[in-house]
Chains A and B, each alone.
Chain A
Amino acid sequence: MEILSNLALGFGVALSPFNLLMCLVGVVLGTLIGVLPGVGPVATIAMLLPITFNLNPIGALIMLAGIYYGAQYGGSTTAILVNLPGESSSVVTCLDGYQMARQGRAGPALATAAIASFFAGTISTVVVALFAPPLAEVALKFGPSEYFSLMVLGLVAATVLASGSLIKAISMVLLGLLLGLVGTDVNSGVLRFAFGVSELADGIGFVVVAMGMFGLAEIIVNLEQKEAREVFTSKVGRLMPSKEDFKRMTPAILRGTALGSALGILPGGGALLSSFAAYTVEKKVSRYPAEFGKGAIEGVAGPEAANNAGAQTSFIPLLTLGIPGNAVMALMIGAMMIQGIAPGPQVMTERPQLFWGMIASMWIGNLMLVVLNLPMIGIWIKLLTVPYRILYPTILVFMCIGVFSLSNNPFDVLIMAFFGVLGYICAKLACEPAPMILGFILGPLMEENLRRAMLLSRGDPLVFFQKPISATFLTLSIVLLVVISLPALRSKREEAFAGDEQK
């Protein structure tokens, strides 16, 4: 029972007072930004990255992970009470959660969301513990060609799962890859795309790009729209769902958890995709399809379970392969690099305390979140009444201080402003920034592995198809691309994301 001893080690690490505190800080912050519409986990984690310089690696990563899954809890509160997704992954929770609130069942809706999230969190923690070690073992045998193909698969999956046009998403990935190459080329020492600016010699800071593309651009777009927020002020009422409710939500939670856990592992997956998929499934299998959109409890339970499960299992590719599945995971890689940890399969064997401590902390964090979100729901509701005109200057102050402190140089803020403009233009032109961020972080890694693989094969590009694992990854990527370009599926996909764009 190696797993048990490993988990025991993990809980030992996670239960140390300092790490418990970090976990609490993470989930409180996560809930906070989840509740507040217009502040996402990507921008928040980017903002906090510079601060983690001074923390120990385990504490830092535990805190940052807490922000991501904590945001899934907080997001549902806003969705149910205000009919606004506090978090993009709770878009679908709005549909039925808000209707439940209007029928005076806000309490049971909130409780359902919390119960579903907690159950999913527990199960997916076990999934991570079970699946990560064997995957890491396989990954240890990967050579450069396998890594290159895996990254191709990851990027393709990210574009397929991005909302909107496929070809634009691929273009954004390419743009990200190119931007990732700015700076000194490791092989030749040549300064690329630096325009004689000495600050660019080390490349563009990842935090700076993420904050500009997500943080700044989000604020600008929000400010262009008129603020129209209607807080559902009626009393939350009793929290406990009825017996009938429990009966209906249990299978939904189980399905949501299974779906979320599976989709979270996929490259490009995570909370957002999982919640959409779960809602579609619930609607299909429900015995009361007519109730959907009018306050069906399954429409809250399924997606809420799925988004939390997906958020947690998306740590699997990060921890085992060192490859980020979504933008938040890309930031986690950034955090690991700041701490001098090279992400990859060796993390598990070389730093078991970090690996298992993080997994154990996820379960502890979920427990904290139930307490934070049910008995203390009143506090979060109060927060919803803070107007955006006070919120956004606060966010800006944190962002600017965070970016400036990276190297105590105003140049970083200038670059952030540049990416703010780019992010704003991309938002207006319906180009999604998430695939770009993935490309940005993978750019140098991909080039490095491509070069090595080609050197080993003496310039034969067929090597990627001769090695079985590498060939599988590439075939999968091609199949994915072809399938998604089929006209029948294309309209389905656009339909599936239609709800996303309406927000």
Chain B
Amino acid sequence: MQIKNEKDFWAGLMFMGFGLAAVTIAVGPPAFLVAAWKSMGWGNLQYGYQMGTAVRMGPAYFPTMLGGLLAFLGFIVFLRGFFSELPPETMKANLSFGILDFVVGVALFAGLGYASKVMFKSGDYGMLAASVILAVLSFLFRPKTKPLILILACGMVFAYLLKPLGLVLATILLVFVAALGGHEYKTKEVAIVAVVLSIFSVVVFVYGLTLPFQIWPAAFY
């Protein structure tokens, strides 16, 4: 079997994944998995929602319907990936990352998020750290993913550092990280944009719209 339409192949897998996940979460995982989970000493696996009847639908009813249908349609799209008559060159997905890169990224966020939740009672530090690490990895090893990773990272850096650093510094950081994701990087130009934008956002959002942001780092107060 040869994949003739990459776009449909991956889209189908994605839809199946979402659909099956929805059904599994709604109806609950199969009994053997719950038993295995418990025998490993990991506690109780949450066991689905109530299905109810057609007259009195429980919280599981509608999501199960939707999820099942989605998984079914996803399967058809997935199959179409093998039987396309369109020229395969035009059906390349052209994603900037591979499936392995994706797994690494997800694992990084899940792992660090969980670790920081256990250690600091908040996942925030883990999320920030994962974003920064991923940005560095992308910069060093996967230059093609720079637009994706750095644009996402700039938002995360901004969001998680806004409270400790204040609006001005967080905005400047955001602009610099975002600029690194583009084609051309001119330090001088980026610096000017960063300064102008941080002044603008302080004037408009803090003074104009009175959003409750701190302007300077928390240590200054």
Closest chain B residue to A394, Cβ basis: B197
Q: Is A493's beta carbon under 8 Å from chain B?
A: no
B58 to nearest A CB, angstroms? 7
Identify which of A235-243, A265-273, A362-370, A421-429 touches chain B. A421-429
- Chain B, residues 1-43, CB within 8 Å of chain A (1/0): the string is 0000001101100110011001001100000000000000000
User: B156 touching A417 by the CB < 8 A rule?
Assistant: yes
User: B95 touching A428 by the CB < 8 A rule?
Assistant: yes
What A residues does B179 contact at CB under 8 A? 389, 393
Residue in B18, B55, B76, B154 whose beta carbon sits within 8 Å of that of A459 in the complex: B55
What B residues does A388 contact at CB under 8 A? 182
Q: Give the residues from 415 to 445 in chain A that come closer than 8 angstroms, CB to CB, to chain B.
A: 416-417, 420-421, 424-426, 428-431
Supposing A174-B73, A421-B152 touch, asked if A414 and B178 sit within 8 A by C-beta, the answer is: no
User: A193 touching B148 by the CB < 8 A rule?
Assistant: no
Q: Give the residues from 344 to 400 in chain A that come closer than 8 angstroms, CB to CB, to chain B.
A: 388-390, 392-394, 396-397, 399-400
User: A410 touching B50 by the CB < 8 A rule?
Assistant: no
- Chain B, residues 187-204, CB within 8 Å of chain A (1/0): the string is 001100110010001000
What A residues does B148 contact at CB under 8 A? 220, 224, 421, 424
Residue in A165, A178, A417 whose beta carbon sits within 8 Å of that of B18 in the complex: A178
What A residues does B94 contact at CB under 8 A? 428
Bound-state CA distance A164–B62 (Å) is 27
User: A404 touching B159 by the CB < 8 A rule?
Assistant: yes
What A residues does B63 contact at CB under 8 A? 178, 181, 192-193
User: A187 touching B59 by the CB < 8 A rule?
Assistant: yes
- Chain A, residues 162-176, CB within 8 Å of chain B (1/0): the string is 000101101100110
User: B151 touching A178 by the CB < 8 A rule?
Assistant: no
What B residues does A290 contact at CB under 8 A? none
- Chain A, residues 401-413, CB within 8 Å of chain B (1/0): the string is 1011100101011
Bound-state CA distance A175–B74 (Å) is 11
User: B151 touching A429 by the CB < 8 A rule?
Assistant: no
What A residues does B212 contact at CB under 8 A? 408
Residue in A190, A396, A421 whose beta carbon sits within 8 Å of that of B49 in the complex: A190
B81 to nearest A CB, angstroms? 10
Closest chain A residue to B127, Cβ basis: A414
Q: Is B56's beta carbon under 8 Å from chain A?
A: yes
Residue in A187, A188, A390, A413 whose beta carbon sits within 8 Å of that of B159 in the complex: A413
Bound-state CA distance A174–B17 (Å) is 13
User: B155 touching A188 by the CB < 8 A rule?
Assistant: no
What B residues does A227 contact at CB under 8 A? 183
How many A-B contacts are there with CB distance less than 8 Å? 184
B175 to nearest A CB, angstroms? 5
User: B155 touching A417 by the CB < 8 A rule?
Assistant: yes
User: B57 touching A174 by the CB < 8 A rule?
Assistant: no
Bound-state CA distance A404–B156 (Å) is 10
User: B95 touching A171 by the CB < 8 A rule?
Assistant: no
- Chain B, residues 107-133, CB within 8 Å of chain A (1/0): the string is 000000000000000001001000000
A135 to nearest B CB, angstroms? 28
User: A454 touching B189 by the CB < 8 A rule?
Assistant: no
Bound-state CA distance A227–B94 (Å) is 18
Supposing A223-B151, A461-B54 touch, asked if A404 and B49 sit within 8 A by C-beta, the answer is: no
Q: Is A51's beta carbon under 8 Å from chain B?
A: yes
Closest chain A residue to B16, Cβ basis: A171
- Chain A, residues 12-56, CB within 8 Å of chain B (1/0): the string is 000000000000000000000000000000000000000100100
Bound-state CA distance A413–B170 (Å) is 14
Q: Is B135's beta carbon under 8 Å from chain A?
A: no
User: B49 touching A192 by the CB < 8 A rule?
Assistant: yes
Residue in A392, A400, A424 whose beta carbon sits within 8 Å of that of B158 in the complex: A400
Residue in A171, A192, A389, A451 whose beta carbon sits within 8 Å of that of B57 in the complex: A451
What B residues does A187 contact at CB under 8 A? 57, 59
Closest chain A residue to B171, Cβ basis: A397
Q: Is A177's beta carbon under 8 Å from chain B?
A: yes
B211 to nearest A CB, angstroms? 5
Q: Give the residues from 142 to 186 in chain B that come closer than 8 angstroms, CB to CB, to chain A.
A: 147-148, 151-152, 154-156, 158-160, 162-163, 171, 174-175, 178-179, 181-184
User: B11 touching A223 by the CB < 8 A rule?
Assistant: no
Q: Is A503's beta carbon under 8 Å from chain B?
A: no
A490 to nearest B CB, angstroms? 13
Closest chain B residue to A451, Cβ basis: B57
Q: Is A247's beta carbon under 8 Å from chain B?
A: no
A226 to nearest B CB, angstroms? 7
Residue in B10, B205, B210 whose beta carbon sits within 8 Å of that of A429 in the complex: B10
Q: Is B66's beta carbon under 8 Å from chain A?
A: yes
What B residues does A414 contact at CB under 8 A? 127, 156, 159
Question: Can you spell out 16 A-B residue pairs with CB atoms less than 8 angstroms apart?
Answer: A165-B8, A175-B15, A177-B66, A181-B66, A188-B49, A219-B151, A390-B193, A396-B154, A400-B155, A404-B162, A408-B212, A412-B159, A417-B155, A424-B148, A447-B62, A458-B55
Given contacts A410-B127, A414-B159, A451-B57, 17 further A-B contacts (CB under 8 A): A51-B209, A174-B19, A185-B49, A192-B26, A219-B151, A223-B183, A389-B189, A394-B193, A400-B174, A401-B205, A404-B162, A425-B10, A429-B10, A429-B14, A446-B62, A454-B55, A459-B53
Residues on B lying within 8 angstroms of A by beta carbon are 7-8, 10-11, 14-15, 18-19, 22, 25-26, 49-50, 53-59, 62-63, 66-67, 69-70, 73-74, 76-77, 80, 93-96, 124, 127, 147-148, 151-152, 154-156, 158-160, 162-163, 171, 174-175, 178-179, 181-184, 189-190, 193-194, 197, 201, 205, 209-213
Residues on A lying within 8 angstroms of B by beta carbon are 51, 54, 165, 167-168, 170-171, 174-175, 177-178, 181, 185, 187-188, 190, 192-193, 216, 219-220, 223-224, 226-227, 388-390, 392-394, 396-397, 399-401, 403-405, 408, 410, 412-414, 416-417, 420-421, 424-426, 428-431, 446-447, 450-451, 454-455, 458-459, 461
In the complex, the 6 A-B pairs of residues with the closest C-beta atoms, listed nearest first? A413-B159, A410-B159, A223-B147, A459-B55, A459-B54, A429-B11
